[in-house]
Amino acid sequence: MFEFLWIIFSYLLGSIPSGFLITRWSTKKNVLEIGWRKTSGSNVFKYVGKWQGALTGIFDLLKGYLAVFLARKLGLSIETQIFSGIAAICGHNWSLFIKFAGGRGVGTLIGAFLVISPKILSFSLIPFILLALIWNASIGTILFFPTAIFLSIYFNQFEIAGIFSILALFPILIKRLSPIKEIFQSKEKEILIRNRLIFDNDRTLLDLRIKKILRKFTK
């Protein structure tokens, strides 16, 4: 019974809308009406402010970290640790406190993974960071999961890191489809679904980010 309650607590912990609260406190604005209309640190960083975005990212990471870390410290089962991390991600993506709006879940995912397997996390972040710099962070996020699953098998940690990666993939991808009502209203449903799942955007983003960076330095 306690383990079930802990998972519920982890969801509530993840539901704390860091980006929403920090933006409201510092600018009096509603982050859900700004930019990508999500509470994620990247949205706050780009459209609200750098220090607000960095602070949001830290708090989002801490939510996932504490949900799993405290579950481990309390001696709860591996299954409970996994589902605590998943619950924190779901809480972040669909916060109970802001009418089930939220962020993308990546920061909270990283925080949970930091406890589950820092070794696998560190290796899996390499292709994620490279793709984020060269092309698109959303593509990097997708590559993160198969990399983590492969490494979990290689390092004999599939029972915790591999299963966590597989389960965490669902709330991350489902969140990309939101708002889902726009998909039903679209005349190009398949294209919109593909773009949101792959690029986390309504458009196909084929331009390399590194080109934009190079242009800035060559001007």
Cβ contacts of 171-174, under 8 Å, gap ≥ 24 = 171/86, 171/89, 171/90, 171/93, 171/105, 172/89, 172/93, 172/104, 172/105, 172/106, 172/109, 172/141, 173/197, 174/93
Q: Is the pLDDT of residue 44 over 90?
A: yes
Q: How confident is the model at residue 19 (pLDDT cuts 50, 70, 90)?
A: very high
Q: What is the structure's pLDDT at 132? A: 84
pTM listed for this prediction: 0.92
CA distance from start to end of the chain: 62
Q: Is the pLDDT of residue 215 over 70?
A: no
Cβ contacts of 137-145, under 8 Å, gap ≥ 24 = 137/42, 138/176, 138/198, 138/199, 138/200, 138/201, 138/205, 139/198, 139/199, 141/106, 141/172, 141/200, 142/198, 145/169
Q: What percent of the chain has pLDDT over 70?
A: 95
Q: What percent of the chain has pLDDT over 90?
A: 72
**d(Cα 103, Cα 98) in Å, to the nearest integer?**
11
- Model pLDDT for residues 70-113, shown as the tens digit of each residue: 999 999 999 999 999 999 999 999 999 999 999 999 999 999 99
- Model pLDDT for residues 134-181, shown as the tens digit of each residue: 888 889 999 999 999 999 999 999 999 999 999 999 999 999 988 888
Cα dihedral 87, 93, 95, 99 sign: negative
Residue 39: give the domain boundaries.
Answer: 2-218
H helices of 94-208, in order, are 106-116, 118-134, 137-154, 163-176, 180-185, 189-199
- Model pLDDT for residues 46-64, shown as the tens digit of each residue: 899 999 999 999 999 999 9
Q: How confident is the model at residue 1 (pLDDT cuts 50, 70, 90)?
A: confident
Q: How confident is the model at residue 206 (pLDDT cuts 50, 70, 90)?
A: confident
Q: Provide the residue count of the chain.
A: 219
What domain count does the chain have? 1
**d(Cα 190, Cα 197) in Å, to the nearest integer?**
11
The helices-and-strands tally (H runs, E runs) of the chain is 12, 0
